Amino acid sequence: MPMSSRRLLLPAVLTACGICLTVPPVASAEGWNQGPVRFSASGDDECRVHFTIVNETNAYYVVDYAVDGEDPTSLVGVPGIWSQTGVSVRARFTLNSVPYDITRVVGRQGVQNSAPAAPVFAPGTAPYVTNRDPITTTRTVNLLDQPRLPNRASDTHTVTYQVVLGPQSADKGFDPATGQFALLETEVSGCQTETVSTLTAPPSAVPGVPVVLAVHVTPVEAAGTVQFFADGDPIGAPVDVTGGSATLPHVFTEIGDPVLTATFTPQPVEDDTFDTPYAASTAAPVTISVRDERPGAGSLSGR
């Protein structure tokens, strides 16, 4: 389920002018939801972020974001990243006779919104208009499609966002009580692809005679290793998964009914790739009966 955005207050930014509102809008659990420029972001459980910006002005505004506290300067010039990412922008303006000079770095582009056409102004009127028909723009970002996603192997991510570009500081979430722009966040989950591991073994075995234990992992594209266990103790070394399967020849040396299990560990995923992160999985237990076929035979020591 999507999780509500939460407000943080950190230094923020951007191009600004001296036109300021007496009473600025305030942030809420749903984002910045008052004033002529309203914006929000909501993460879902499929590793996606849904951005929305509603603009009643005739100006151009952009909501940007960062993932897991990443430094946007590391994304300068990276293919597939918005060209403004990593650029330092400065907001110099006055609100209620108080001067502000704030600088921050532009993050990844969430959603951009502007008036469809430049208005025609009558002589003597102010160029900035805040009562036009609302323009609503939405954009859905799949984090797994993003270059250099921090902590790509993780199932969850924290996305922080704010309005980064626009001419009116008060309409970008500026809070004069703190002297900062509002930085909000939302949580994203479901970024790992679930796996299912199925363990197969013969129903019985004879001490000293090899048997083959096997695990099938789905999806078959999931790379990694499988560790087999008998009564909770590891059997041999981890086995590579090839084509969705891992097999282990094994010799039982002790009569009994050991409970077999196996755990799939996915191959590590690097942040600078587009590899799919897979989740670990554990196979359901299987019991094998180890009996000596010779009448009156006892057990052998060890396993």
The pTM (predicted TM-score) of the whole model is: 0.80
The mean pLDDT of 285-290, rounded to a whole number, is 98
User: In whole numbers, what is the pLDDT of the chain averaged over residues?
Assistant: 85
The pLDDT of residue 90: 87
Q: Is the pLDDT of residue 121 over 70?
A: no
Mean pLDDT calculated for residue range 117-125: 59
pLDDT tens-digit map of 35-70: 899 999 999 999 999 999 999 988 889 999 999 999
Q: What pLDDT does residue 23 have?
A: 35
Report yes or no: 97 and 148 within 8 Å, Cβ to Cβ: no
The 3-state secondary structure of the chain reads CCECCEEEECCCCCCCCCCCCCCCCCEECCEECCCCEEEEEEECCCCEEEEEEEECCCCCEEEEEEECCCCHHHHCCCCCCCCCCCCEEEEEEEECCEEEEEEEECCEEEEEECCCCCCCCCCCCCCCCCCCCCEEEEEEEEHHHCCCCCCCCCCCEEEEEEEEECCCHHHHCEECCCCEEEEEEEEECCCCECCEEEEECCCEECCCCEEEEEEEEECCCCCEEEEEEECCEEEEEEEECECCEEEEEEECCCCECCEEEEEEEECCCCCCCCCCCECCEECCCEECEECCCCCCCCCCCCC
What is the pLDDT at residue 120? 58
Q: What is the arrangement of strands in the sheet containing 135-142, beginning at the earlier edge strand?
A: 27-28, 31-32, 37-43, 48-55, 135-142
pLDDT over threshold 50, residue 291: yes
pLDDT at position 8: 36
Residue 184, pLDDT > 50, answer: yes
CA distance 264 to 151: 20
Q: Residue 188 pLDDT more than 60?
A: yes
- Segment 145-161 shows an average pLDDT of 97
Section 193-201 average pLDDT: 98
In the chain the domains, ranked by start, together with CATH numbers, are 6-188 (no CATH), 196-290 (2.60.40.10)
What is the SS3 assignment for 137?
A: strand
Tell me what percent of the residues of the chain surpass a pLDDT of 70: 83
Kindly indicate the confidence band of residue 259, based on its pLDDT and cuts at 50, 70 and 90.
very high
What is the structure's pLDDT at 277? 98
- Spatial separation of the C-alpha atoms in residues 152 and 166, rounded to whole Å: 31
* Pairing status of strand 108-113 against strand 61-67: antiparallel
Q: Alpha-carbon distance 256 to 76, whole Å?
A: 62
Q: pLDDT digit string (tens) for 237-258?
A: 999 999 999 999 999 999 999 9
